[in-house]
A and B are shown apart, each in its own frame.
Chain A
Amino acid sequence: MTTPDAHTSVTPIPPALGDSWRVSYPEPPGEFLASHSNDQLAHIAMELAAELWVVKRRLAAIEQQLVSGGAIVSPDSAATTDEARAESAAQRDAFVSRVFAAMLPGAQ
């Protein structure tokens, strides 16, 4: 059986890995994308903006009706159920797939 000495001091970080791996936010965005991808990103941004606008208009209409009816409740205090969470997650996943489908190979 191999028995390295467990009580010797630990080894330092290999110098090649650099002196510090700490992070702080906000961080620089980094560079990942070639110019080809920017077209897809622009498409995503447009789809996302469209989705957001649909939601904003609908939310405003609902809030207006709730306020006028005296029934508004802050979402910060809204109770939820496991079933509601699951349904919301499914709707979120469909939303993400629809908006970000342009990232996949073969997308227009």
Chain B
Amino acid sequence: MTDTGIGRGYIGTMTALPRFDDESYLDFVEGLRKFAVRTLTPASAAALRGRVAGGGDAVDTADLAQVRAAGDTIPVVSLRNRVLRSTQGMNWQRVQAAYHTHRTRLLAELDAYAGRGPATLQLDEQFEYPRYYDAVDFHRQPGSYHRDALAGYIYHYGTKIFHLGSNDKDESKIANANNVVPPADGKVDRVLDVGCAIGGCTVAFKDRWPDAEVIGVDLSAPLLRYAHMRAVRLGAPVHFRQALAERLPFPDGHFDIVYMSTVLHEMPVADGRRAVAEARRVLRPGGVLELRDMPQAARPPEPWADYDRDFDTRFNTEPFSYAFIHSDLGSYLEATFEAVSATTSPALTVWRCLA
């Protein structure tokens, strides 16, 4: 089968949009989002910290209402918020509209890949999406990850814009997979990618450990169908399966490595705890869970970090992210695993947990 996309080829494995003008519109959105993230956000953070530290009306950083009130009235902060909200909507709306002009053809493409190897796909006909997932259009993606059959296409291009073009050819996913520290004994026979989405890291794990069995699980059937198609195109013999992170369909001690990236902040804290416990259960002794997610809040909270996560919860349809950063995940991991280490940058913490 020779794929031509929908007339304009591919960007990496991503189906190029059918019209040059759609691509140009989203190119502008990407550039404006980059300006908001890399220029307006640092200026906003400095302004809020200055307001908190600079006298005038005192701001109790432990009181979110006071931090909100301070941030929302600073001009550069409110302008940043305006741009982030607008670019998010411009992004999803245009990507969805562009792909849906070729809906029939793209659905036929997904059907044509069903059952093809070397990758496999196992969907659960009886699968019920949990309420916390079904009720939320995460990151304001219309139809979210599971209620639009083209969600995989939309997610792939939309996240290209969201991540500022840094993963057009899976570069960041490959780097993340290559940074995973394997078990001390070096044995890597089975790898599990929890919340694999469209399988970027899943395929990268297979490239890194070609002799290992690599499995990606996710809730979303549309994302998994797209992940399977992508893996077939890449010639990757990986396996995708529809499953809950908090109810993994694998025996105890089955995996050498479990990888879970930016999953927990999209779940209620209690369900996230179950997902971590499941990861621990399916790891063999000496196996490793690598967990990547938003840093936990400082005590007392750092005002900008707290404000920014609250912004995501208020305006970017991430209802659980603020609770997540205040969930003291580190203590739970230390109580659950034999040993835990963590490295933190402003936007990301990587926890390495030894079973």
Interfacial residues, chain A to chain B (CB-CB below 8 A) = 1-8, 10-14, 17-27, 29-30, 32-34, 36-37, 40-41, 74-78, 88-89, 92-93, 95-97, 100, 103-105
- Can you report 30 residue pairs joining A to B where beta carbons are below 8 Å apart? A1-B280, A3-B277, A4-B277, A6-B278, A10-B246, A10-B268, A10-B274, A13-B131, A13-B319, A14-B268, A17-B319, A19-B135, A21-B135, A21-B137, A25-B89, A25-B96, A26-B93, A32-B78, A32-B79, A32-B85, A33-B82, A34-B73, A37-B79, A75-B20, A88-B27, A89-B27, A97-B39, A100-B35, A100-B83, A105-B47
Residues 1-42 of B contacting A (Cβ, < 8 Å):
7-8, 18-20, 27-28, 30-32, 34-35, 39-40
**Does B80 reach chain A (CB closer than 8 Å)?**
yes
> By the criterion CB–CB under 8 Å, are B274 and A37 in contact?
no
A13-B268, A33-B79 known, 7 other contacts, Cβ within 8 Å: A2-B332, A8-B274, A10-B131, A11-B270, A76-B8, A97-B35, A97-B39
Interfacial residues, chain B to chain A (CB-CB below 8 A) = 7-8, 18-20, 27-28, 30-32, 34-35, 39-40, 43, 47, 72-73, 75-76, 78-83, 85-86, 89, 92-93, 96, 130-132, 135-137, 140, 142, 144, 165, 244, 246-248, 268, 270-271, 273-274, 277-278, 280-281, 315, 317, 319-320, 323, 332, 335-337
Given contacts A2-B332, A4-B277, A77-B8, contact A96 B268 (CB under 8 A): no
Chain A: CB-nearest residue to B138: A21
Chain B: CB-nearest residue to A8: B274
Shortest distance between the CB of A80 and any CB in chain B (Å): 9
> By the criterion CB–CB under 8 Å, are A6 and B274 in contact?
yes
Distance A10 CA – B268 CA, assembled complex (angstroms): 9
> By the criterion CB–CB under 8 Å, are B82 and A32 in contact?
yes
Given contacts A25-B93, A30-B315, A92-B28, contact A76 B73 (CB under 8 A): no
| Cβ-neighbour of B34 out of A8, A23, A25, A96 (below 8 A) | A96
User: With a CB–CB cut-off of 8 A, which chain B residues contact A74?
Assistant: 20
Chain A: CB-nearest residue to B273: A4
User: With a CB–CB cut-off of 8 A, which chain A residues contact B76?
Assistant: 103-105
> By the criterion CB–CB under 8 Å, are A10 and B130 in contact?
yes
| Cβ-neighbour of B131 out of A2, A12, A25, A27 (below 8 A) | A12
> By the criterion CB–CB under 8 Å, are B280 and A7 in contact?
no
> By the criterion CB–CB under 8 Å, are B31 and A92 in contact?
yes
Top 8 A-B residue pairs of the complex, sorted by shortest distance between their CB atoms: A75-B20, A21-B136, A92-B31, A32-B82, A10-B130, A25-B93, A96-B31, A103-B79
Chain A: CB-nearest residue to B282: A6
Shortest distance between the CB of A26 and any CB in chain B (Å): 7
Shortest distance between the CB of A63 and any CB in chain B (Å): 14
Chain B: CB-nearest residue to A36: B75
> By the criterion CB–CB under 8 Å, are A20 and B75 in contact?
no
Distance A77 CA – B337 CA, assembled complex (angstroms): 54
User: With a CB–CB cut-off of 8 A, which chain B residues contact A24?
Assistant: 142
> By the criterion CB–CB under 8 Å, are B19 and A89 in contact?
no
User: With a CB–CB cut-off of 8 A, which chain B residues contact A32?
Assistant: 72, 78-79, 81-82, 85
